Amino acid sequence: MADLKYSEYRLPRQMLADQVYDGHKSLHDDKMAEDLGFSGAPIEGPTHFSQFDLLLHELFGDAWFERGCISSHYRNMVVEGEEVRAFVEIPAEGATITRIGAEKRDGTEVLTGTASIGPDHGDTEIGRRIARLEPSDQLVILSDLEVGRKGAGNPEDAIMDFDQYMGALYPFSLNDKLAVITEMHPYYTLEGAADSPWGKPVIPMEMISVLSNYQNQSGFKSRGPAVGMFAGLEIRLINGPVFVNHPYKIEREIVALSESRRTESNWVRSSIYDAESGDLACEVILNSATLKASYEKYEEDAKALGKKL
């Protein structure tokens, strides 16, 4: 059995109770979660990434913030008040990819995935899952979308300053997040970053997810209203770090569509370019799964489209 390196148990914080998308509250609202049969409003999946940054910085050094990749599939939701710890398999000497996971105090699995250092990130968790997907002709909620569609707003401007409000999808600032972040790192702050190789603060890995969705104008409109959740996420640094208060441009593309018994999933790659140099800084692949049961007209539309129920 591989040797594991663990974080401490921590209490991730819920910051999306006021999140609004598609004109309605999200799954992170207690009442919405209850109506859909969940025990409580889940903490957003990327929140757990901060528990890995310190572990992976220790393993891979400063290269983690320049060329690191965290790729995860979410297994079980976490609600505020539940303790979580992260763990990383100690890689063999010279290895650039390893397994990661997170679990609750009672052993319930929270996520599984990979962490790696580029430029060759190898067989990542999300890459492997996309490769295994079978095309589906039974999509209802996502029936108006297709693989390969580019974002209507390409390229979109994006920036994240410390006190910047990030919009209805993420109704908080970076400073708000840093006040309650699950694991803090000196490189996230102006003071701590002064001693970093770059001399300026980096955006935490979990907040790169927020940056990638800032003012999303992709036009990837699905049928609704319906409620979605993050089922998987990969953040791959290519020419990093991604810096605070630095201008970026984002291009989006649908790379896969899929379904399960309960959900339909849109897999979108957001390519984040440095607006000054033009270099590709980072790629984010998000598997956003929409709950079939949350779409009131699902059965009606399925019949009209000739889909199986």
Find the CATH number of the domain harbouring 77: 3.10.129.10
Q: Is residue 245 part of a domain?
A: yes
pLDDT of res. 171: 84
Tokens representing 45 are: 């999946």
How large is the average pLDDT for residues 73-99?
93
Comparing 19-28, 69-78, 107-116, 163-172, the range with the smallest average pLDDT is 19-28
Q: Is residue 202 part of a domain?
A: yes
Distances in whole angstroms, Cα of residue 211 to Cα of each of 92, 125, 130, 199: 33, 22, 23, 21
> Highest-confidence range of 172-176, 221-225, 227-231, by mean pLDDT?
172-176
Query: Is the pLDDT confidence value at 76 over 70?
Result: yes
Task: Work out the pLDDT band at 66, boundaries 50, 70, 90.
Answer: very high
**Would you tell me how many other CB atoms lie within 10 Å of the CB of residue 96?**
17
Query: Is the pLDDT confidence value at 78 over 70?
Result: yes
How large is the average pLDDT for residues 164-186?
91
Query: Is the pLDDT confidence value at 21 over 70?
Result: no
The H or E element spanning position 86 is strand 84-89
Q: Minimal CA–CA distance to 53: which of 175, 165, 208?
A: 208
Q: Is residue 168 part of a domain?
A: yes
How large is the average pLDDT for residues 38-46?
74
Q: Is residue 265 part of a domain?
A: yes
Secondary structure E strands in 180-260? 228-237, 248-259
Share of the chain above pLDDT 70, in %: 92
pLDDT of res. 27: 47
pLDDT of res. 207: 96
Query: Is the pLDDT confidence value at 248 over 90?
Result: yes
Q: Left, alpha or beta for 245 (phi > 0: left; psi -120 to 50: alpha)?
A: left
Q: Is residue 73 part of a domain?
A: yes
- Find out whether 222 and 141 touch, Cβ atoms under 8 Å: yes
How large is the average pLDDT for residues 230-234?
95
Task: Please state whether the peptide bond connecting residue 225 to the residue before it is cis, i.e. omega within 30 degrees of 0.
Answer: yes
Q: Is residue 103 part of a domain?
A: yes
Task: Work out the pLDDT band at 25, boundaries 50, 70, 90.
Answer: very low
How large is the average pLDDT for residues 158-169?
90
Q: Is residue 231 part of a domain?
A: yes
Query: Is the pLDDT confidence value at 39 over 70?
Result: no
- Name the domain count of the chain: 1
Radius of gyration of the chain (CA): 19
- Find out whether 249 and 156 touch, Cβ atoms under 8 Å: yes
Q: Is residue 309 part of a domain?
A: no
Please give the residue range of the domain that contains residue 274: 4-304
> What is the pTM (predicted TM-score) of this model?
0.92
173: Cα within 13 Å, side-chain hemisphere = 10
DSSP-H helix ranges across 61-105: 64-67
